Every structure is written in structure tokens, then in C-alpha cells.
């Protein structure tokens, strides 16, 4: 398999206890065509010393002094040093699963119609102990009706062509939910696909921004959803109420037997989730749709 170039950015803020594990989870994959960039954004702990230990394995790294308005400016700065065909970012307390970059590259190579996808959402605690893995199926209609939780950022990767089509940067004015705002822009240009395996790992700790600022995160996401609804194509926007009814019926009558029947009744292919799973007998990935 050829190895397309991958650009990965890690913004770091006061994560000296975790950032070494984060970096190690990336560089230990030995992916041969990787641009890995770390931006130490205003840390006041020993994060800088930890990052320097990996300096010769990084495509670029730098340290910013002073206070931090949020990670988006650091992520934008990191991507400005990159040219990879495939993109993603990994926060400095999270991890990549072993060899996940090879999986990401293989999926994008096998399916040229896929512009972005997410793996199975996986969570660990502050000690690195496994908590859970869970499949979250989300399409543009879920977001349009307000059912946005959750597309796990640590497990989401996209093509640079999609990134450039939506403006080529995160909204630097947002201190939280810049990922959810980006997904809303992605949905205006491409379908979201789901990979049936874990790729990234979210570390759930009490000081995580998404926990400390949960109310602000929800509010910013709702603002992004409002903009998404306003900019969605008319035929997509009209189907929003239709989809809400469809999901309600699935919730009430969602047995494995009735799901496809309800799907055929509504007859809207866009309502289906696009998923990808590995077929070990054929040694390749298989794409399928589900209601």
C-alpha cells in the first residue's frame, strides 16, 4: 500500500503529565509519510521540556508564551506548516490507537469518494484505563435536528481538499466547540462516514475543557447548527422535519426487522448512515449503509 502524506497537529496547554504519551502514540506508529506538528500554547508547567525530548521526531514544534485564548489558533498555526493529503488533530492528553494512521491511509486510498470519516468513539480515564467504546452514527440530518452528540474529534480525519473547501481554518474566535463548528461546515460539502474500529482515544479528566465548559460548548454548537440550517441547500432543509418524524418512528418501532421497512417507506437514501468495516477474508474494507 502506498502511504499518502498525513498532517497531524497537537496543541498543548499545561499537559506535562500527558503530552509525552500523546506524542509517543503518534511517533511510535512509524508511519513513513507523516508531518507531525506540536504547538505548545502558553503552558506554564513542564510541557516544553517533555516536547523537546521528541524534537527530532517532529516535523515542526514551537512554544508560545502568555495566556491562551483557546486551542484553535494553535491548531491553525500548526496546519500552516503542513501539506499532507490527510489531516487531523490530536489534543495533548489524548492518544492514537496503534497503527491507526495506516488504517486511515488505507481507507482513504480504497474509497476516493470519502472525504471525511470518524472511528468508534473510545474513552480512557486520567490513569489511561479503558472506560468504553461506542458507535455514534451521525449524518447531516442528525445535526440539522440538533442531535449532534457526538462526532469524536480524536477519531476524525479528512482530506485536505475538504479542509480547503470550507475555508482552510478553524474559527479562532471560539474557545470551545471549534470541532463541532467545523463539522457543520464539512456537512455542507460532504457526507460523513463511520469506520467500525477505534482510531483515537479521548482522555476523560475533570479538568477537560469539554467538561468544565459544557454549557458554553453546547451554546456554541447550537449557534453553529443555526448557521448550518441557514446555509443548507433548500431540499436538505425541507427534509429536516421529515427526518425528525423518521427518527421518532425508528425509536418506537426500531427493531432489526422493522428498521429497513421504515427506511424503504421513507425512501430517502440521504437518511442512511454510511459505514465502513473490515472484511478479514477479503483483506479489505467494505462499505455499507444502514438506517
Say which CATH number the domain at 260 has. 3.90.550.10
Q: Is the dihedral of CA 235, 241, 245, 248 positive or negative?
A: positive
Structural domain boundaries, residue 283: 6-290
What confidence score (pLDDT) does residue 47 get? 96
Asked whether residue 283 is domain-assigned, the answer is yes
Q: Hey, what's the cell of 83?
A: 501539506
Asked whether residue 151 is domain-assigned, the answer is yes
Asked whether residue 221 is domain-assigned, the answer is yes
Asked whether residue 142 is domain-assigned, the answer is yes
Residue 167 Ramachandran class (φ > 0 left, ψ -120 to 50 alpha, else beta) = left
- Cα distances from 57 to residues 133, 152, 202, 229, 261, in angstroms, run 30, 26, 23, 43, 53
What confidence score (pLDDT) does residue 186 get? 98
Asked whether residue 183 is domain-assigned, the answer is yes
The answer for residues whose C-beta is within 8 angstroms of residue 211's C-beta and 6 or more apart is 204, 205
Asked whether residue 1 is domain-assigned, the answer is no
What confidence score (pLDDT) does residue 56 get? 97
Burial of 191 (0-12, 13-18, 19+ CB in 10 A): middle
Q: Are 51 and 12 in contact (CB under 8 A)?
A: yes
pTM: 0.94
Q: Based on C-alpha coordinates, what's the Rg of the chain?
A: 19
What confidence score (pLDDT) does residue 251 get? 79
User: What's the total number of domains in the chain?
Assistant: 1
The answer for residues whose C-beta is within 8 angstroms of residue 271's C-beta and 6 or more apart is 139, 141, 243, 246, 263, 291
| Sites in the chain below the pLDDT cut of 50 | none
Quote the crossing angle between the two packed helices 178-187 and 214-231, to the nearest 10°.
20
Q: Hey, what's the cell of 210?
A: 469539554
Q: What is the pLDDT of residues 39-86, one digit of tens each?
A: 999 899 999 999 999 999 999 999 998 767 789 999 999 999 999 999
d(CA 136, CA 149): 8
Asked whether residue 248 is domain-assigned, the answer is yes
Q: Is 63 helix (H, G, I), strand (E, B) or coil?
A: strand
The answer for residues whose C-beta is within 8 angstroms of residue 115's C-beta and 6 or more apart is 158, 159, 161, 162, 186, 189, 190, 191
d(CA 208, CA 203): 8
Asked whether residue 279 is domain-assigned, the answer is yes
Amino acid at each position: 500500500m502506498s502511504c499518502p502524506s498525513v498532517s497531524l497537529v497537537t496543541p498543548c496547554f499545561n499537559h506535562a503529565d500527558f503530552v509525552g504519551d500523546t506524542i509517543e502514540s503518534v511517533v511510535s506508529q512509524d508511519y513513513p509519510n507523516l508531518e507531525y506538528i506540536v504547538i505548545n500554547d502558553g503552558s506554564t508547567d513542564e510541557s516544553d521540556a517533555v516536547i523537546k525530548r521528541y524534537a527530532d521526531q517532529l516535523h515542526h514544534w514551537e512554544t508560545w508564551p502568555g495566556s491562551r485564548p483557546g486551542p484553535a489558533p494553535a491548531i491553525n498555526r500548526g496546519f500552516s506548516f503542513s501539506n499532507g493529503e490527510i489531516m487531523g488533530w490530536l489534543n495533548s492528553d489524548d492518544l492514537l490507537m496503534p497503527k491507526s494512521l495506516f488504517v486511515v491511509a488505507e481507507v482513504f486510498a480504497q474509497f476516493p469518494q470519502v472525504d471525511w470519516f470518524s472511528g468508534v468513539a473510545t474513552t480512557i480515564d486520567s490513569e489511561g484505563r479503558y472506560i468504553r467504546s461506542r458507535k455514534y452514527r451521525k449524518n447531516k440530518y442528525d445535526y440539522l435536528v440538533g442531535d449532534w452528540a457526538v462526532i469524536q474529534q480524536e477519531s476524525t480525519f479528512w482530506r485536505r481538499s475538504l479542509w480547503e473547501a470550507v475555508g482552510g481554518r478553524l474559527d479562532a474566535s471560539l474557545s470551545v466547540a471549534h470541532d463541532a463548528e467545523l463539522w457543520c461546515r464539512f456537512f455542507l460539502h460532504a457526507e460523513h462516514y463511520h469506520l467500525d474500529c477505534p482510531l483515537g482515544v479521548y482522555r476523560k479528566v475533570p479538568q477537560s475543557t469539554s467538561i468544565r465548559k459544557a454549557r458554553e460548548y453546547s451554546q456554541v454548537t447550537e449557534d453553529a447548527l443555526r448557521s448550518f440550517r441557514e446555509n443548507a441547500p433548500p431540499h436538505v432543509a425541507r427534509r429536516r422535519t421529515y427526518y425528525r418524524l423518521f427518527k421518532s418512528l425508528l425509536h418506537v418501532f426500531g427493531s432489526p426487522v422493522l428498521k429497513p421497512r421504515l427506511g424503504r417507506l421513507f425512501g430517502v437514501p440521504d437518511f442512511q448512515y454510511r459505514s465502513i468495516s473490515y472484511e478479514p477474508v477479503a483483506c479489505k474494507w467494505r462499505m455499507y449503509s444502514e438506517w
